[in-house]
Structure 1
Amino acid sequence: MIFDECYIKSQIRAVPDFPKAGVIFRDIAPLFHSPKATRMVADSFIQRYVEADFSHIGAMDARGFIIGSIIAYELNKPLVLFRKKGKLPGDVITEPYATEYGTAHLEIHSDSLCEGDSVLIFDDLIATGGTLLAAAQLVRRLGASLYEAAAIIDLPELGGSQKLQDAGIPTYCLTAFALDEQ
């Protein structure tokens, strides 16, 4: 299936003033209501990474879990979950990060990765880059390396993809929205 960016963008709902006034939230739920859109997104990532040299896929809580799990299954790679603080049982390591709305913490099981592992990390969207930068720190703290950060959507005006690239993290997104784009 050929990737059609206009079609994918049409399947992402703009929700004004959520979670606070002045913000346009990009809701990917409608994208997954469409088998065509889901397959188009998944196939695009699969084609990009099918011959890539990395050992694990990391997925961000919670919307990154959707696409990350599809890609991990299709590429036969282990899936590592990055969760919000307090959601994982057992021994975890934690990394604080700034969000568009404040601060948060990301966690991973301390035995999820080890030296020599290489991780492709997924999220639904790159805004300020905080979540993916925190994930990158967790990956490195466990002795693994980062292959690339990937997302369905980039909001380039918020600077997250640039921050990732400035941190030496290759970044790939299927589409981008201007902040005021409906």
Structure 2
Amino acid sequence: MESACSTTANADIAARIRTIADYPKPGIQFRDVSTLLLDGPAFRTTIDRLAALVNPAEIDLIAGIEARGFIVASALSYALSKGKVMLRKPGKLPGEAVGIDYALEYGTDRIEMHVGHVLPGQRVLVVDDLLATGGTALAAIQLLRNAGAEVTEALFIVDLPDLKGADRLRARGVTPIALCAFEGD
């Protein structure tokens, strides 16, 4: 994993992320960024640090994954002056949409995007709050690539390295980048 993470580099950000035990099912340690979002200065610092990890000249669009990924991607789009494409849950987009089904670590889901919002050859950065098994990010990457986009990087606040999502992204030719990591699942 490409990372700005070290034991101290982003400890201030990691300290703002709470862990909720046994959610959404027993044995899962849910890393909740909502507590980070509550702290305006910490959220601004997070976006500034994420923005510093990418070269805006190499990005045409930022793709945010519903729901928390929208928040991060929108702020990052603003910081980098880049457009944002929304990757949404089924039935949420008012225009013609295309989608992809995928497996999660505890179920299945689907994401969709508007037809024509990503053009062939556009360089798209995938953004979400957290990388776990990589299922959602991989679905987003495939959906964007199906539209002709070039996707070579994906950006996250949190990586859960024990769940091997970063390895799965690398296997698809995408460099995962995260600010901090939490051991365990």
The TM tier, using the shorter chain, reads: over 0.9
Greater RCO, CA 8 A, separation 6+: 2
Match of 1:117 in 2: 122
Q: Trace 1:7-156 onto structure 2 (pairs within 5 A).
A: 7-156=12-161
Once the two structures are overlaid, the 10-residue window that deviates more, 54-63 or 88-97, is 88-97
Deviations along 1:133-168, one digit per CA (max 9) or x if unpaired, are: 011111111111113111000001111111000111
Structure 1: runs of 5 or more not aligned:
none
Residues 51/84 of structure 1: CA separation in 2 closer, same or farther (3 Å cut): closer
| Contact in 1 for aligned 2:152/2:173 (Cα 8 Å) | no
1:163 aligns with 2:168: yes
Distance 2:86 2:59 in 1: 16
TM-score by length of 2: 0.92
- How many residues were matched structurally? 178
Match of 2:177 in 1: 172
Distance 1:4 1:21 in 2: 31
Distance 1:4 1:101 in 2: 31
Q: CA deviation at 1:26?
A: 0.7
TM-score by length of 1: 0.93
Deviations along 1:11-67, one digit per CA (max 9) or x if unpaired, are: 001000111111111110110111221121111112222544110000000000111
Distance 2:91 2:105 in 1: 21
Structure 2: runs of 5 or more not aligned:
1-7
Letter in 2 for 1:169: V
CA RMSD of aligned residues (A): 1.3
| Contact in 2 for aligned 1:54/1:147 (Cα 8 Å) | no
Secondary structure of 1:49's match?
A: coil
Letter in 1 for 2:100: E
Letter in 2 for 1:159: K
Secondary structure of 1:111's match?
A: coil
